[in-house]
Structure 1
C-alpha cells in the first residue's frame, strides 16, 4: 500500500514503525513523549488516497485501517488461489481493499460479489470500484447471515469493527441480511473463493452457506477468527470448528501457519482474546 504523499515522509514513518516493533514490550508506549510523538506522526502522515496493486483507494476520513502509514498484506495463500476468470465472494468488504485485489486478479472474465452493510463504508466502496473502472464487481449493501431478513448492526468507532452481535453496547441500525445459499441459489454455477470478515459473525455466514460450499467442492475460504467477538455473537469456537470439519475442510491458522484441529481450537478457546485468519480448503 503506497500513500500518495512525499516519499521521504513515508520512508521515515516506516522506519519509525519498524523501531516500535523492535522495542515492543519494553513499556516505551507508556512514556508521555512517545505517546505524543505517535499521535503527531499518525495524524500528520495520513492522506486521503493510497495506491494498492496499481489501483486507487480512497480512504475513510480517519484512516482507521492505517493504510496511509503501513502496507496492507494479502496472505500468499490467497494470492496463490485467485486467478483470471474466477468468481469470488467478499463478505464484509468494508471500503474495498480485498475487493479491489480480487477484481484486479480475476480480470474482465471473472466476477466479484462484494457485500458491505454499513452505509458509509458502502458509499466509499462504490467510489473505489468506480474510480478504478471495474465492471466485474457486483456490490450489495447487505449483511450476510445464516438467514435472510433484517438484522441489527452495532456501529463502532472504528469502521472496521461494525458488527452483528447478541449484546449491543453502542448505537445500532437495521439492515437487510441475506444468506449465501439464498443469494446464490440461482445465480452462479461455481464460486472459487469465499472471503469473510464479519467481526465474530463469520460462523453464521458459513452456516447460511452450507449448500453452496458443499456444491462448490474446490471452493477455498478465508475467514476471520476472533475469540472475543465470536463469543459475543453467541458462537463458541468449538462449534465453528465442527461446522468446518463437517464440510471436510482443512483449516490453517495463518498467524502461525498451524494446522487447526480440535485440540488446537480448545486451546484458543481458553484465551480471552485471540485474532487471526483461517484459510480453509478441501485436502
Structure 2
C-alpha cells in the first residue's frame, strides 16, 4: 500500500507545532518575569521611601502597573515591531531594514519577524530617554573623530554616525555578523575597518588587546563605544595605554554585571576622567549569574578627560 504524502497537511502540522512550542516558551518566560517583578517590588516595599532615589521611584511606578521589562519606563511603548518593514536582499540573500535611509543588514537566515523584533529593540535602546543611549547633545561625535566600536553586532551605532566622523574601527567577535557588516558598510569601505576579534587583555588567537592593535596604527582612537557583554574590564586592562595617550572619550556599558558601574566609574575617576551616568535604570537579569537586590543598574557611563 502506497502512502500518499500530503505536503500541505505536513506543513500545517509543522507550523502548528512551532506555534505551540513558542506559546509554551512565552508562558515559561512570562512566569519567570512575573516572579522577578514580584521579587523586586517586595524588596523595595520594605525600604523607606526616602532611601529610594527619584529615578528608581519612576521605574518602580512603571513596574507596578506593567509587565517586567529591561527598560522599566513608558518610553518603550512608542515602539511596535509589527509596524516595522523588513526585507530580503535578492542579490545577497541577507535580510535588512531601512534605517534613516540606509540598509542595515542582519545575519543571513534570520526570519523577517525576528529582524522586526530585533530592530525595534535597537530603537528602544537608543531612544533619547533610554538608559542605554550612547550619545547626547553634549557627548557627541565630530568630523575629525576616529571611532572604535567594540561589540558591534549589526552596527547600528556606527551606521548612525558614519557620515559624521573621519574613520571607524568595527570590532565584532561573532563571525556570523561579519558578512552582514560588510554589506551594511559597503558604501563607506574607505573609512571603515572590520576586525573579527575578541577584545581582551591578552593577545593570543582570536583575542587581542586595544594597546596591541593600535600600537602601529596611524589613525588613533578619539572615542570608544564599548558594549562587550560583561568583558568591559578586560578592555580597560588591555587598552589603558591607548586611552590615556589619546585622551580618548569612552562610552561604556555598566549593566552586564552587578558592581560594574562602581568599578568602571572608579577606574576612570582615578585616572583623571569625569563621568556622566546615563539617565534612568535597567533591570538586566543576564544569563548564568545572580540577579539580586538592589536589582536596578545604570546602563552606561560617558567619560572624558578633565
Within 1, Cα distance between the matches of 2:123 and 2:161? 20
* 1:27-49 alpha-carbon deviations (Å, 9 max, x no partner): 5649xxxxxxx9xx745745233
Larger radius of gyration: 2
Within 2, Cα distance between the matches of 1:223 and 1:275? 11
Structure 2 vs 1, CA of residues 118 and 192 (structure 1 numbering), >3 Å: closer, same or farther?
same
Which structure shows the higher strand fraction?
Answer: 1
1:119 alignment partner, one of 175, 179, 185: 175
Q: 1:98 aligned to 2:164? A: no
Alpha-carbon offset, residue 147 of structure 1: 1.5
Structure 2 vs 1, CA of residues 239 and 119 (structure 1 numbering), >3 Å: closer, same or farther?
same
Considering only aligned residues, what root-mean-square deviation do their CA atoms show, in Å? 3.2
In the other structure, the counterpart of 2:203 is 148
SS of structure 1 residue aligned to 2:149: strand
Matched residue count: 207
Within 1, Cα distance between the matches of 2:217 and 2:183? 25
TM-score, scaled to structure 1: 0.62
Alpha-carbon offset, residue 247 of structure 1: 2.0
In the other structure, the counterpart of 2:301 is 278
Aligned 1:28-177 pairs, distance under 5 A? 29=67, 42=81, 45=84, 47-48=86-87, 49-60=96-107, 61=110, 62-63=114-115, 65-67=118-120, 70=123, 72-73=126-127, 75-77=134-136, 80-106=139-165, 110-130=166-186, 132-150=187-205, 176-177=206-207
Runs of 5+ unmatched residues, structure 1? 1-20, 31-37, 151-175, 258-268
SS of structure 1 residue aligned to 2:207: strand
Runs of 5+ unmatched residues, structure 2? 1-58, 69-76, 88-95, 128-132, 282-291
In the other structure, the counterpart of 1:253 is 277
Alpha-carbon offset, residue 225 of structure 1: 0.7
Which structure shows the higher helix fraction?
Answer: 2
Within 2, Cα distance between the matches of 1:236 and 1:42? 31
Within 2, Cα distance between the matches of 1:249 and 1:270? 29
